Chain A
Amino acid sequence: MMRSIPPRLRTPLMMLVFGAVFAAAAVAGYGWGSLLHLGPVIIAGPVVYYVWGGRNSDSAAMIRQQLDERQAYRGLKIQAVVGRVMSGGASIAFLAAWAAKATLWPFEIFLALFVVALLAGWVITRERGDARDDSPGSPHSWLTSRQ
């Protein structure tokens, strides 16, 4: 279904859908008055995102999901920075909560997620195939010498 939607529209549309769900929850919890504050943000956010996606820049290419190799690499570096900051922040928050004898389980969830994400990333990005050293003189040199 997502493939039938133009790439530039996908993220703004997702923002709009999640915004609508969030607005529905806010209305259920706090009444229609909450829409006065939330409504403009929920509508303006996707519109700004869509308009920005039409520009000729790296950020616009990321919004359009039409990245060349440098932009994709830059996107990965940005994700790495975000991951490092978030995991560092979660660790510091955990230590602060532990020192203050506050509730720890929300931070433990974050730290567990960090470990799970690290393992998942390791498994997903692993390179399949034989990684044994088959250079002359090594125990696995027969792999190439029999040719």
Chain B
Amino acid sequence: MLDISGMLRYLDITRNRVREQRTQRGLSQAELAAALGVSRQTVISIENGRYLPSLPLAFRIARFFDLTVDKMFDPDDEEAAT
């Protein structure tokens, strides 16, 4: 059976500020991917909320942007949700 509410909760969690922070710094997806040691496709998936990064990768992303993980990935943060 399809768990729609579970899927929505998952999508909610995957809202993040990666795209916002990347564009603020004038970085391309490929440049960010190279800095994080992942593929460009993975950066795209994270930005679009299709992939929830592991805790180590979430920390790498947050540290790269000089933010905390909860600032970067907090689903309850109104700014991050937009």
Contacts and interface: CB of A to CB of B under 8 A. Distances in A.
Interface in A28-56: 56
Given A68-B39, A69-B38, A69-B57, 12 more contacts: A56-B39, A56-B41, A58-B41, A68-B37, A68-B42, A69-B42, A70-B38, A70-B39, A70-B42, A70-B51, A70-B53, A71-B42
Nearest to B51: A70
B28 interface: no
A61 interface: yes
By DSSP majority rule, is chain B's interface helix, strand, loop, or mixed?
A: loop
Contacts of A69: 38, 42, 53-54, 57
Residue among A58, A69, A70, A71 with max Cβ neighbours from chain B (10 Å): A70
Nearest to B52: A70
A69 B54 CA distance: 8
Interface string A54-68: 001110010000001
